[in-house]
Amino acid sequence: MPNVPSHLANPLVVAVAYDGLCTFEFGVAAEVFALPRPEMGEDWYRFAVAGIDAGEMRAVGGVRVVADGGPDLIGQAGTVIVPGWRGVDCPVPPLLIEALRKANERGARILSICSGVFVLAAAGLLSGKRATTHWRYSERLRERYPDITVAQDVLYIDEGNVLTSAGSAAGIDLCLHLVRRDFGTKAANMVARRLVVPPHRDGGQAQYVESSVPEPHERSRLGPLIDRMRANISTDYSVATLAGLAGMSERTFLRRFAAATGVTPARWLLSERLSRARTLLEDTAMPIDRVAETAGFGAAATLRHHFRQQLATTPAAYRARFGTNAKSA
């Protein structure tokens, strides 16, 4: 069992339910915060559902929801989750706006998943802040709320007590991020393992926009090479070398690699190396220069450059926040 600190002033997580509830987004919140996790100890989250519409509410897919209580539950929460919204053009009830504003004023964390960002925006919680949502809604959010800096190519944005995620599955990334904030890396990794998802994903939404699904034969043909690259991540690969190992011309290799992975070999290697470096920083006390070498960056200066560019932090700061001992007190 991870060393779970009892530092949450208010462990109650309240998910907002409404008629037309987005089932998947609500399920993400329930899976992360409502599922019993005895391995996490007694200080884990508590979970409740606040219904904002009278009576039984419908959810997408024919499900009907009976909430634990009404909007007053939002006033008791340490964390409030808005799991999507019934339509980006649907008005937000004044009672929900008022409840969210009061929760925010007293310091509760407010999270939105996908289109739920429009609820936070209507409540004025994102004014002057950065936010994200599904790429399909980004331009509409930007036009409707010009005082919000809309970032499209990210999976989530943490503005302290207000957090937003991109498309539906990015809600998993955001919820795991909050677990990591509250309980540390090992706890987030354990939750991710039970979900059978990576504990953190690099990159943003751009890789999912208007991209075709790779053909199975492309994946199977390049699979052994990708496995080899991942197993020997510190090797200095050139396109010519990779094309030779794949038995293709360079031009054919680049085309087929992009079809199979959605990115160039250089971008794929950078993402894998960053992931390896993050794992080493989280789980070991390995010196930074050794992390850089093991992860394939060669020198610590190169590792720091890519951390600043891709993660807006430094390796040392990342270890201080997410390393094994970062949340032990």
CA separation for the pair 115, 133 (Å, rounded): 6
CA 39, chain centre distance (Å): 23
Backbone angles phi, psi at 163, to 5 degrees: -130, 140
By percentage, how much of the chain surpasses pLDDT 70? 90
pLDDT of residue 54: 86
Give percent of the chain above pLDDT 90: 62
pLDDT in tens, 69-113: 999 999 999 999 999 999 999 999 999 999 999 999 999 999 999
For residue 118, pLDDT beyond 60: yes
Return the top range by mean pLDDT from 19-23, 176-180, 283-287: 19-23
- The predicted-structure confidence for 220-257, as pLDDT tens digits, reads as follows 578 889 889 999 999 999 999 999 999 999 999 998 88
What separation in angstroms does the CA of 311 have from each of 49, 154, 201, 284?
A: 34, 11, 11, 20
This prediction's pTM: 0.67
Longest dimension (CA), the chain: 65
Span 138-167, mean pLDDT?
A: 91
Mean pLDDT of the chain: 87
Q: What is the pLDDT of residue 56?
A: 82
SS3 292: helix
